[in-house]
Structure 1
Amino acid sequence: MKRRNHNVKKQKSRKGLWITLSLIVIALVVAYGVGATYFQSHFLPNTVFEDQNLSYKTVDQANATLDSKVLDSEQTIQEGNKTIATYTPKEAGISIDIATTLKNQLKGQNALMWPIAFFESTNQKLSKDGVTIDDNTYKSFFDQLGLDNDSRQKSEDAHIEAGDKGFEIVPEVSGTQVDPEKLKEAIVSNFGEGKNTIDLTKTYYPVAVTKDDDKLKSQLEELNDKQNTVVTIAYNGLDEEVPTEDVHDWIYIENDEIKFDYSKITAYAEAFSDKVSTYKKTRKFKSTNDGEVEIKPGTYGWTLSSSDLADKLYAQLNKGEDGTIQPTINGSGLTGTGDDIGNTYIEVSIKDQHMWYYEDGKLALDTPVVTGHPETPTVTGAFYVWEKERDAILRGENNRTGQDYESPVDYWMPFNWNGYGIHDSPWQPAYGGDNWKIRGSNGCVNTPPEVMAKLFDTVEIGTPVLVY
C-alpha cells in the first residue's frame, strides 16, 4: 500500500515538470513572436547608423535623430596641408531622404533573427541613393569659398608650337584651377560615402593631352615632314625654291588637322609674280650710244598667273611631297634667261634717229631712220614684232593734215597694237638728222628700202623692239 502511494507522487511530479516546461516553451514562443512582430517596425538591437545607436527605434524616431546630425555634420576641404573651408552638408546645398534610406534598411533586416542581434552589431552608412544638391545653394557656397580661378594656374594640354628648329611639343601644364562641377561631385560623393574630408587637388581641371600622347607625336612628325617640303617654281627656264621659312609660316594645326594658310600663300604668289613678271614694267637697258637708259612699259613682257601659282603651290604642299610646279605664264619675251629681252633685239633711238639690230649679242645691222613728226611722235617703250607682211598698204588718217592716206610698202613689221611699226619708205629723200622734225611719219619708223629688205629677211616674229 505504501509502494502505490509513492508511484502516485512520482507521477504527479513528472506531470508538473512537463507542465512547467510547456509553459516555458509557450512563453518563449510567445516572446519570440512578440519580438519578431516588434522588430518588423523597430530596428534590431545593436543597430548603428552613422555612429548613432538606433536600437529599438522606429523609422520616425531614427529619422529625428539622424536628420540634424547628418546634414549638420562638419566637413572639411583641404588643399595639401591647408584647410580651405569647413562647412556642413546643408550649407553646401545637400539634402537627403533619410527616412526612405531608413525604411529600406528596416525592410532589409531579418526580424526573425532578432535574438541573434543581441550578440552581433551592424554599423550602417549613408549611400548616394537619395542624396541631392541644390544648384543655387551650391553656387553661392562655391562663390564664398574664395577660390579665385583667375589667380590660379590654368591647366594646359600638351600642344605643338613652331620653334627655331621646326615644330616641337610643348609639355602639358598641370594647373590649380578648380572645376566647380568636380568639387560638387566630390561633396555629394563624400557625403554619400560618409567621408568628412575633400582633397581639393582632386577637383582641379585635368590635363587631357600629355607630351607622350601618340596622336600628338604623329601630328608632330607629319608637321615636320610637310613643313620641310621643297617646292620649286619653274618659270621661263628658271627655277626658284620656295623659302623654307615661308612654308614654316604658312603651316598650322586647326581642330587636330594640319592646314596651310591659303591667304598667306596667295600673298606670296602675288608678290612672286610682281617680282618676276616683266609686263608693264620700266626696264633698265644698256643702249648703244647713251649707256643705261630707261625703257617705258609697252606691249612687250610677260606675267606669271599668281592665282594659278597659289593653287598649285597649295596643292603641292598638302601632298607633303617635294616637287616642281609650273605656273601659267602669259605674254611675250619668254627667253629663259631671266632677262626677257635677251641679246637679240631691235633698238630705236629717237634722239639719234638711228636703229640697230643685234643678233645673238652682235650688231647685225644699223641704219639712220626717220621717226614720227613732233606732232605725231613715235610711241616709246618695249614692244615686239608681232607680224611680218609683204606688199602691205598702210591706211589711216594724217593727224597733222586731217587727210586720209594709203601708202603701199614692200615690208611691214608692226610692233604696236595701235598701228605703229617698221617699214620701208621710198618717199623719204634722206634719213637721220633732223628730217623727222620736217618730214616725220605718223608714228612709224621709216627705214631705207634696201636696209628694210635685209631687216625683214633676218628678224623673226617675237623679236623685241625697244624705242626710247
Structure 2
Amino acid sequence: MKRFWKTLLVIALFLGIGYTVGDQFYSQRFARNTTFANVDISHLTVEAANGKITQEIMSNTLTLTEDGTPLATIQLADLEPQINIFDQLDSLLQEQNQTSWVTGLVTAIELDGFNAGNLDINPQTVSQAIDDALQLTSQERQVPQNAYIAYSQDTGYYIEPEQTGTQIDEEKLRYLVLEAFQGGETTVEVSDAYRQAEITATNENLQAEWNQIQAYNDLQITLLIAGYEEVITPERILSWLYLDENNQVTFDETMIFDYLGTLNDQYATYDDYRYFNSTLQGQVQLVPGTLGWSIDREAETQAILSDLDAAVPVVREPAIVGVGYNGTLDDIGTSYIEVDILNQTMFVYIDGVQVLATPVVTGQIGTNTIPGAYAIWNLESPSALVGYNPRTERDYVQPVDYWLAFDDTGQGIHDANWQPSFGGDAYLTNGSLGCVNTPPDIMPLVFDYAYPGMPVIVFE
C-alpha cells in the first residue's frame, strides 16, 4: 500500500514539473495544433510565426478569369505588399489561456485569421500588375450601351435594353483584386468588373419618357375650323415625334408648321378669289383684298406643342390671323357693305336684310376705286383726309365728318359735301381719288351701321 502511494506521488511530481515547464515554454509560444490563416504556427514565437505566415501569404497567387477561362495570374509578392500581422499575433499570444497549450495537445486551435487591415498594397502597383497581366485596351472591347427608346415600323416605339459590353472598369477590377488577396481568394472573374450602362431599362427618367410616348397612342387634338373638324390623330402625332440627343421626347416643329399649311390650303380665305351674289348684278367674282383669314401657323404650332406637352385630348379652335373669321367658310357673312362700281350704288346689309341703299361717286378714271373684298379697320368722326392729288399734283388736307377706312392703300368711305351729284356718270368728271364719296345726309347712317371688321365688297 505504501508503495502505491509512493508511485502516485512520483507521477504527480512529474506531472507538476511537466506542467510548470510547459506553462513557461508556451508563455512565449503558440500552443500545439494552433493555426492562423490556415498556417500552422504550433510552438512558434510571435517573431517566428510572423515570418512563417508572411512567407506563406507572399506565395499566394491570384488567377484572373473571363467567363471562366483563365487569362493570367498575379503573385502577391510581385505587388510588394506590406503585411502587418505582428501586433495581431502578439495580442493573440497574450490572450492565449494558460491551459490552451494543454488543450492543444489533443484539439486544434484556430485563431482569428488574416483580415483586410493586415495587407497594405499600393493601388497603383495593383493597376500596373493588372495591365501587365492582361494588357487591357478599351479600344478592343465593346463599350456598354445605355437603354434607349427605339422605333421600328413593325412595333412602333419600344425600349431597347441596356448592353453591358466587355469594356473593363479598371478601378473596379483593381478593387476586386485587392479584395481577393485580402480575403485569401484564388480567382477573380474579370467580367464582374465590366463597365455597366449608365441608363438601364428601368431608369426612372427613361420610363417616364416611355410612358409619355404611350400616352400619345390615345391622344388626339381636334381643331374646329370654320365649322369643320380636323382631327390630329395619334398616328400623325407619332410621326412628328422624335428623340433628341438626350433621349428626350420632342416634336418636329417644321412638320407641324407644314401640316398647318395644308389646313390653310384647305380652309383659309386670305388672298382668295370669291364668288358673291350682288344686289344688281347677280353672282360676281371678287378679287382678293384685305378681307380674309388664315391659321396663324407660328402661334398654332406653339399651341399644338403645348397640347402635346399636356398630353390631354383637346377640342378647340386654332389661332387665327386676319379679318373675317366667323366660324364658317363664308367670311363675308350676312352683314356687309356692298359697293357696285358699275351701278355707282352702295348697299348696307345687316343680318341679311338690306337696310340702306344710296348712290355714290367712286374713283375717276386714272384714280379708280380698286375692287376687292375688304374689311373696315378704322372708324373716325370727324376726320381729315390727307394725301396727294396726282391730277392737280398737289398735296391736300380735306376735312370730313365721317371716315371708314377699308384697305391698306388709303381707300375708304366718307361724306363728300363738295359733290354736286351722286350716282350715274358723276364719277367720270367728278370722280374721287379712289374713295367712295357718299351723300352727307346718308353717311351718318352708314357710319352707325359700320363696325371694325365689317366686310366691304367692292366690284365692277
| Larger gyration radius, structure 1 or structure 2 | 1
How do 1:113-128 and structure 2 match up within 5 A?
A: 113-122=100-109, 125-128=113-116
The residue that corresponds to 2:229 in the other structure is: 239
Distance 1:344 1:429, change over 3 A: closer
The residue that corresponds to 1:445 in the other structure is: 436
Shift of 1:68: 3.6
Whole-Å separation in 1 of the counterparts to 2:358 and 2:423: 15
Distance 1:155 1:466, change over 3 A: farther
SS at match of 2:48: helix
Letter in 2 for 1:333: G
How do 1:57-456 and structure 2 match up within 5 A?
A: 57-92=44-79, 94-122=81-109, 125-144=113-132, 145-156=134-145, 158-164=147-153, 165-206=155-196, 220-245=210-235, 247-248=237-238, 249-250=240-241, 261=250, 264=252, 268=256, 272=260, 276=264, 282-285=271-274, 295=288, 298=290, 300-302=291-293, 309=300, 312-329=303-320, 331-338=322-329, 340-341=331-332, 370-371=362-363, 374=366, 378=369, 382-386=373-377, 395-396=385-386, 399-400=389-390, 401=392, 402=394, 404=396, 406=398, 413-416=404-407, 419-422=410-413, 426-427=419-420, 439-446=430-437
Shift of 1:385: 3.4
Q: What is the TM-score with the length of structure 2 in the denominator?
A: 0.71
| 8 Å CA contact 2:84, 2:118 repeated in 1 | yes
| 8 Å CA contact 1:371, 1:377 repeated in 2 | yes
Whole-Å separation in 2 of the counterparts to 1:197 and 1:373: 105
The residue that corresponds to 1:7 in the other structure is: none
The percentage of counterpart residues that share the same residue type is 24
TM-align CA RMSD:
5.1
Distance 1:102 1:187, change over 3 A: farther
Whole-Å separation in 2 of the counterparts to 1:193 and 1:357: 104
Moved more, 272-281 or 419-428: 272-281
Gaps of 5+ in 1: 1-9
Moved more, 42-51 or 395-404: 395-404
Distance 1:404 1:314, change over 3 A: closer
| 8 Å CA contact 2:359, 2:422 repeated in 1 | no
1:45 to 2:32 alignment: yes
The residue that corresponds to 1:35 in the other structure is: 22
Shift of 1:397: 5.5
Shift of 1:35: 2.0
Shift of 1:123: 5.9
The residue that corresponds to 1:4 in the other structure is: none
SS at match of 1:75: strand
| 8 Å CA contact 1:233, 1:326 repeated in 2 | yes
Letter in 2 for 1:71: M
Whole-Å separation in 2 of the counterparts to 1:208 and 1:403: 76
Shift of 1:192: 2.7
Shift of 1:159: 4.2
| 8 Å CA contact 2:360, 2:436 repeated in 1 | no
SS at match of 1:283: coil
Shift of 1:303: 6.2
Whole-Å separation in 1 of the counterparts to 2:378 and 2:67: 91
1:245-264: per-residue Cα shift (whole Å, max 9, x none)? Answer: 553344769999xx764x85
Give the total of aligned pairs: 439
Shift of 1:155: 3.7
| 8 Å CA contact 1:273, 1:305 repeated in 2 | no
Q: What is the TM-score with the length of structure 1 in the denominator?
A: 0.70
Distance 1:41 1:381, change over 3 A: farther
Gaps of 5+ in 2: none
